[in-house]
């Protein structure tokens, strides 16, 4: 059990070292600026996701119509006809 805690503690210490190296606040950047960048990034990601979802939802009626046409064509073809 003690070795498990040692490995967790080692992992946490390594993560804190990574954070210290890549933390933009250590380079003279104000925390408010970092927060502003995170907010802008989140808004950009949300915008792209909404745009993609809207594109998919706009195509759904055409997909359903094509599906119904294909099922109708298969149902209405003669029994001896194996070609589509």
The position carrying tokens 């040692």 is 6
pTM of the model: 0.48
Q: Read off the pLDDT band of 83 (50, 70, 90).
A: low
Question: What is the structure's pLDDT at 35?
Answer: 85
Taking the domains of the chain in order of start, what are their residue ranges? 2-76
Residue range 2-46, pLDDT digits in tens: 566 666 556 555 555 555 555 555 566 677 788 888 899 999 999
Q: How many CA atoms lie within 13 A of 20 on its CB side?
A: 6
Burial 1-18 (b: 16+ CB within 10 A, else e): eeeeeeeeeeeeeeeeee
Residue range 64-78, pLDDT digits in tens: 999 999 999 888 876
Question: What is the structure's pLDDT at 27?
Answer: 62
* Cβ(26)–Cβ(17) below 8 Å: no
């Amino acid at each position: 059990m003690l070795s498990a805690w040692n490995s967790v503690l080692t992992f946490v210490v390594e993560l804190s070292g990574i954070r210290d190296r890549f933390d933009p606040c250590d380079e003279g950047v104000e925390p408010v600026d970092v927060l502003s960048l995170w907010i802008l990034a989140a808004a950009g990601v949300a915008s792209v996701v909404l745009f993609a979802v809207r594109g998919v939802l706009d195509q759904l009626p055409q997909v359903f119509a094509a599906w119904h046409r294909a099922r109708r064509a298969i149902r209405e073809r003669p029994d001896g006809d194996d070609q589509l």
